[in-house]
A and B are shown apart, each in its own frame.
Chain A
Amino acid sequence: MANVSDPGALAKVHQVTTARTNSGAPIIEARGLTKRYGELFAVNGIDLTVFEGEIFGILGPNGAGKTTTLEMIEGMRKPDGGTIVVAGIDVVADPRRLRQAIGAQLQSTALFDYLSAAELIKLYCALYEVDDSPARIDELLGLVDLGEKRNAKVNELSGGQKQRLAITLALVNEPKVVFLDEPTTGLDPAARRSLWGVVQGVRDRGTTVVLTTHYMEEAEVLCDRVALFDRGRLIACDTTQALIRGLNMSATIKATCEAGSLDQAELAALPAVTGATVSAIGSQSELSLTTTSAQQSMIGLLELAARRSVTLGDLRSSQANLEDVFLSLTGRSYASDTEPATDAPASSRRRRRRGEAA
């Protein structure tokens, strides 16, 4: 089953959180952010710093506290504890002033029906009392590649087009920071990739982007830095590369073989292997090796199989990714956590709680 949480890995990850890739000044600083609903801590003592000009991803399974955190930073929810400063504005004390300085996209459904793309943009320009000339509207449509949908009504747009419209509506007041709440949820892969391009375009214009997502891949590809959330806590925050470097591995090797033909101890002894599991699936065993060098471990594994005349099936190696980081920090696999019906066993939750308290 899953690896047991490794306190060493956790410490390593935290050591590198101070490193940063972008040279901008801090634009969001949250300290000790806490939100409680009755007994439950939705967000539990989170510290976050976002720098100007970066795409900052808040990543975590459903219910991890991503949206609640975002809403507190946007001034929509009052935190039960902690301080937030966005673009020099004390959010807790002055949420109204913040609204002029930020832009936000919520779900794609948060658009008025019966209005065209251009009419919606014109309306938002009026709400922020900024230029709404046809040239400006065309520019805003162009930013999200909706120039041809100028006169299309909202209900005639596809999911991806609606999201792009929602993003450009968040940009009408030329905000310093724009918040995107799960911008690609529910989109097909092509629409998702096209939206990544839009988000990068927004950042390239100098706007800081903070987005939430539960797609690991999206955080890896799109975000300059990633804050990994789990059950109301920030468990890691850095560039994807630095988070993976902090792991005791660089790749995972997987294969299947006849049950009982290879055992865990001899696999763990292979070169560069840092962890090995063998799980039985019917008459087959599934091997999973974590390694600091995929090449060395792969050679070792192939030689071992050749010596024993074991046939390896479905042999593959994958680069370490954020899923491995999540697994190593929480002891749970990310995929199983993001399935809505799946809940982690109570025992693992209790174990984790104790670990946190220590």
Chain B
Amino acid sequence: MRPLLAMIVANLKMTMRNRGAIFWNLLFPAIFIVIFGMVFGNDQTITIAVGVTGADSEYRQQVTYVFTEGDEFDLHESTDRAALMADLEDGELDAVVEFGESADNAFPPAVVHYNQANGPTADIVNSVIQQVLMGVAQAESPLEVTLEPVNSDSVSFIEFFVPGIVAMSLMNSGMIGLSTTFTTWRERGILRRMRLTPFPLPSFLLARILSQVVVAFAQTLILIGLATLLFDYRPTGNIFVITIAILAVSLAFLAIGFAISSVARTTESAAGISNLLVFPMLFLSGVFFETDSAPEWIQPLTRLLPLRFAVDALREPMTRGAGLIDIWQPLLALGVIFALALAFAARFFRWDSRAA
């Protein structure tokens, strides 16, 4: 136990003091969060898309007139209540105002459906629409306004983006970080030197993996913290499920990194191979945008990428509070990737970079 712990501590120290590793593991993904958060993160509150449906009345016409005239509103009037509610769930609409039948010439009741997933935006939308409803009625009589939250699939950009960036940073530290570290150690004779100590290779590898897993959790926390601080990101979901997902993602990419280090002869070629695998994945795995917009023929392919499984395993629990059952497919896929990559690495592992 003592040798293993000492090796883990040594690995953590080396990682903390390695500026290149700090850049790729932390700064690089943090820069993505800041830039993309600033560009795409705050665009929802400029106009309020509001749907109007329900029984017709003079009151409804007056309210509709306000929505039509106001620049800040984007009116969608329809008798098809179901279609409007579907748009609300998809995030096309910010709210749907549903009018009821009026009794005794009083103001008809109005129900405001809003999208809970919009977070703080939803509160603003609600208060604006309530002001309109009350203002038109001049609050003469106790107006019955009911707020109806809607659970929907639509998520804000930052909620969508943070799990993707976490997946990306785990991929970078796992694949590029581990593969270049191991090839450097082999080139410099450090692996040979370790072989001359009583400390066995599996423990040596385990120490590196455990230390990288610790780093992976730190990375996740820092990235989530940054998004929370700057862009009102609200972490949701079950901590236990998210922990399992991070572990699975991290281990799968570390195993791939180890496999790369076993075939790459030099540190340069390890970095080259890693980047060759990393970059296509970055753009085809739905880190920055849904892959629905990618060409048809490439879609089935993107579903098999390790980063795609990583993004799915992290995004579902982190945005929609998915449970372990909901993400069994990506978790299983990551497990298979881990096992295959490790077996491959063990098959081709070399202590020594010298010929013969």
Chain B, 164-198, contact with A by CB distance < 8 Å: what is the 0/1 string? 00000000000000000000000011101101111
Compute how far the CA of A115 lies from the CA of B7 in the bound complex, rounded to whole angstroms: 12
Compute how far the CA of A154 lies from the CA of B87 in the bound complex, rounded to whole angstroms: 62
Tell me, rounded to whole Å, the shortest Cβ–Cβ distance linking A133 to chain B.
14
For A107, what are the chain B residues with a Cβ–Cβ distance below 8 Å? Answer: 188-189
CB of A54 closer than 8 Å to a CB of B = no
Compute how far the CA of A127 lies from the CA of B204 in the bound complex, rounded to whole angstroms: 10
Q: Is the interface of B mostly helix, strand, loop or mixed?
A: helix
Task: Say which size band chain A's interface belongs to.
Answer: 20 to 34
Interface residues of chain A, those whose CB is within 8 Å of chain B, are 37, 74, 76, 96, 99-100, 102, 104, 106-107, 109-115, 119, 122-124, 126-129, 153
Decide: A123 and B7 in contact? CB cutoff 8 A. Answer: yes
Taking CB atoms and an 8 Å cut-off, the chain B residues in 305-332 that contact chain A are: none
Interface residues of chain B, those whose CB is within 8 Å of chain A, are 2-3, 5-7, 10, 13-14, 17-18, 188-190, 192-193, 195-199, 351, 356
Given contacts A76-B351, A127-B6, 12 further A-B contacts (CB under 8 A): A76-B196, A99-B197, A102-B196, A109-B190, A110-B192, A110-B193, A112-B14, A113-B14, A114-B14, A115-B13, A127-B199, A128-B198
Q: Which residue of A lies closest to B5 (CB)?
A: A126
Ordered by A's residue number, 5 sampled pairs between the chains whose C-beta atoms are within 8 Å are A74-B196, A99-B198, A100-B198, A107-B188, A109-B189
Decide: B192 and A123 in contact? CB cutoff 8 A. Answer: no
For A127, what are the chain B residues with a Cβ–Cβ distance below 8 Å? Answer: 3, 6-7, 197-199
Tell me, rounded to whole Å, the shortest Cβ–Cβ distance linking B292 to chain A.
44
Tell me, rounded to whole Å, the shortest Cβ–Cβ distance linking A192 to chain B.
20
For A113, what are the chain B residues with a Cβ–Cβ distance below 8 Å? Answer: 14, 18
Compute how far the CA of A102 lies from the CA of B198 in the bound complex, rounded to whole angstroms: 10
Compute how far the CA of A124 lies from the CA of B6 in the bound complex, rounded to whole angstroms: 9
For A126, what are the chain B residues with a Cβ–Cβ distance below 8 Å? Answer: 2-3, 5-7
For A102, what are the chain B residues with a Cβ–Cβ distance below 8 Å? Answer: 196
Tell me, rounded to whole Å, the shortest Cβ–Cβ distance linking A358 to chain B.
30
For B14, what are the chain A residues with a Cβ–Cβ distance below 8 Å? Answer: 112-115
Tell me, rounded to whole Å, the shortest Cβ–Cβ distance linking A151 to chain B.
13
Tell me, rounded to whole Å, the shortest Cβ–Cβ distance linking A114 to chain B.
4
Instruction: Identify which of A111, A124, A127, A153 gathers the most chain B CB atoms within 10 Å of its CB.
Output: A127
Q: Which residue of A lies closest to B6 (CB)?
A: A126
Decide: A110 and B3 in contact? CB cutoff 8 A. Answer: no
Q: Which residue of B lies closest to A172 (CB)?
A: B197
Compute how far the CA of A109 lies from the CA of B193 in the bound complex, rounded to whole angstroms: 10
Tell me, rounded to whole Å, the shortest Cβ–Cβ distance linking A105 to chain B.
8
Decide: B188 and A109 in contact? CB cutoff 8 A. Answer: yes
Decide: B13 and A76 in contact? CB cutoff 8 A. Answer: no
Q: Which residue of B lies closest to A170 (CB)?
A: B196
Decide: B6 and A122 in contact? CB cutoff 8 A. Answer: yes
For B18, what are the chain A residues with a Cβ–Cβ distance below 8 Å? Answer: 113-114
Q: Which residue of B lies closest to A110 (CB)?
A: B189
Compute how far the CA of A113 lies from the CA of B15 in the bound complex, rounded to whole angstroms: 10
Decide: B6 and A110 in contact? CB cutoff 8 A. Answer: no
For B10, what are the chain A residues with a Cβ–Cβ distance below 8 Å? Answer: 112, 115, 119, 123
Tell me, rounded to whole Å, the shortest Cβ–Cβ distance linking A68 to chain B.
9
Compute how far the CA of A55 lies from the CA of B190 in the bound complex, rounded to whole angstroms: 25
For B198, what are the chain A residues with a Cβ–Cβ distance below 8 Å? Answer: 96, 99-100, 127-128
Tell me, rounded to whole Å, the shortest Cβ–Cβ distance linking A44 to chain B.
16
